[in-house]
Amino acid sequence: MKPKYARALRGRLEGRDKTRLEALANERLDAFVADAVQLCGPAVVRILTDSEADRRYIRRQAIENGEEAPLATPGHTVHFDGYQDQGRDKEVTRYLLPKGVNLGANLNTMSRERGLAEVRGFLEGAMRGRVMYVAPFCLGPTNSPFSLSCVQITDSAYVVHSEHLLYRPGYAQFERAGGGDFFRFLHSAGRLEDHVSAEPDKKRIYIDIDEDMVYSVNTQYGGNSMGLKKLALRLAIRKADREGWLAEHMFVMGVHGPRRRVTYFAGAFPSACGKTSTAMLPGETIVGDDIAYLRAIDGQARCANVEAGIFGIIQDVKAADDPVICKVLTSPGEVIFSNVLVKDGRPYWLGMGRELPTEGVNFSGPWHIGKIDKQGSEIPPVHKNARYTIDLRSLGNVDARFDDPQGVPVGGIIYGGRDSDTWVPVQESFDWPHGILTMGAALESETTFATLGQAGVRAFCLMSNLDFLAIPIGKYISNNLNFAGGLKTVPRVFAVNYFQRARDGKWLTGMRDKAVWIKWMERRVHDDVEAIRGPTGWLPLLGDLEALFRKVL
């Protein structure tokens, strides 16, 4: 380690932790840690490895710090975000641009010089008296063409605990990579009151595209504070643009067809539009539910799940519709619930199929029916963006190739959103450009509670990735169109819509019908069924659907 970094870390990084950092022999990492220490002023620095002992240490810290509380089921904990910190906050999430760089009018940007001064000002001294955790992770399978090294620095044990469940460990990956590049994330929860961020007006999530680095402060909500979540997706989109692959907001699943055939699909759905429930369909296998990298390998489109866990919305999750998830959520094992209602050590959420208690503890503190906030609005028992965090390997339906270093072959791409009156339940594009443009780039969806703002408003949602774009829209669409150019077999493109309503407001399809649409798409990939050419795409034949409804449901 260079003397200037050693001097900056003296007194805060000692003994085993100093040895761990020096063993990685990465000057850029040394500089990152030294700068964070000088800026944030922690009492001590802990360098985390891939060991189970370090995982246990973080779990204990999250409880001892009051960021999580144990629940009645062994291994289950609950975390509450601040009352005004319940979703991704687009207004204060900005790209920091150097002079002369323009990402287009649709992206939230500001000058790099001004943004760094502001966010670093909020971070100055933010960790005084606290532990700074330095946690290496790997996006994608380790030791793979998909691997991207990352380092999260934070004063929140809850953030690291969540990322331990959601991502693959990265210390050994750093050792293998030597002095290579990596994504950097610096986060502080800021000033706390009752263990939650107390200054939401000073919340900032700034993305420095020059340095592959994200600053996050005065927030605890996972989408704002877990650097490897959607913040890393923004950096990966830029890296993919430079290197000729795709970073997408997509689930990946294995659909089991005739003759023990498994066909892999990647699907882009805005949050709360059926993405996780599709990836978790009974009888199918899940590779990932949120973010995927796609690469052309030997003329074949292949993709890998960036993550190793699920940070899922917990609404309308019940045993009848989601048996695999419900088994994990009600059995001993490591689960973090956030922003649910807790009564007598048990979590309750909206649409769980049980009557909710009339009192308990929720994201507002002690709660009872009729409790109102400072604005006079009644506080619901559970926030609509309440979440659960689990390791994918705890699921009984995880795909056998979940951790394959070469990823899985992509048979089809699916786009879907909330559309009450236009898109049909399922259709196939005429070809790759038609699907990318009319089903992906033209995707509209009615907004949900996963993003702050009014719900139920129809909004343009390009490939379900618009909120996370870090390059101009035209360039992003062009990259998707060009991706098929070098492929020997081009994936089919499909569109689905689970949310059609009749004029009286009633749903026109059932929640389980998606199992039929996915089976039809699997058969189309292999040309096992015919289709009718409609005005917007290829449509199923009635006879094929009737047979599938009988077989599947």
Length of the chain counted residue by residue = 553
Tell me how far CA of residue 81 lies from CA of 158, 241, 340, 462, in angstroms.
11, 34, 10, 29
Q: Which of 40, 150, 273, 303 is catalytic?
A: 273
Six-digit token pair at 512? 């389980």
Q: Which residues contact 143 (CB under 8 A, 6 or more apart)?
A: 173, 176, 405
| DSSP of 224-265 | HH-IIIIIHHHHHHHHHHHHT-EEES-EEEEEE-GGG-EEEE
If phi > 0 it is left, if psi is from -120 to 50 it is alpha, else beta; for residue 185 that is beta
Alpha-carbon distance of 6 to 22, in angstroms, equals 10
Answer for the pair 432, 535: CB distance below 8 angstroms, yes or no. Answer: no
Query: In Å, how far from its chain's centre is CA 78?
Result: 19
DSSP3 helix / strand / coil % (the chain, rounded to 5): 30, 30, 40
b/e map 318-345, b = 16+ CB within 10 Å: eeebbebbbebbeeeebbbbbbbbbbee
Alpha-carbon distance of 166 to 284, in angstroms, equals 21
Alpha-helix residue ranges (DSSP H) falling in 99-247: 112-123, 157-166, 171-177, 222-225, 232-243
| DSSP of 445-475 | EE--TTBSS-SS-EEE-GGGTGGG--S-HHH
**Which H, E and C letters describe 314-332, residue by residue?**
CCCCCCCCCHHHHHHHCCC
Alpha-carbon distance of 269 to 417, in angstroms, equals 6
Alpha-carbon distance of 412 to 409, in angstroms, equals 9
CA-nearest of 535, 518, 277 to 414 is: 518
Answer for the pair 246, 239: CB distance below 8 angstroms, yes or no. Answer: no
Q: Does 138 participate in catalysis according to the annotation?
A: no
H or E, element range at 338: strand 335-338
Alpha-carbon distance of 420 to 278, in angstroms, equals 18
Alpha-carbon distance of 434 to 219, in angstroms, equals 41
In DSSP terms, 196 is beta-bridged to 193
Six-digit token pair at 416? 């879907």
Query: In Å, how far from its chain's centre is CA 337?
Result: 15
Answer for the pair 75, 62: CB distance below 8 angstroms, yes or no. Answer: no
Alpha-carbon distance of 310 to 317, in angstroms, equals 14
Q: Which residues are catalytically annotated?
A: 273
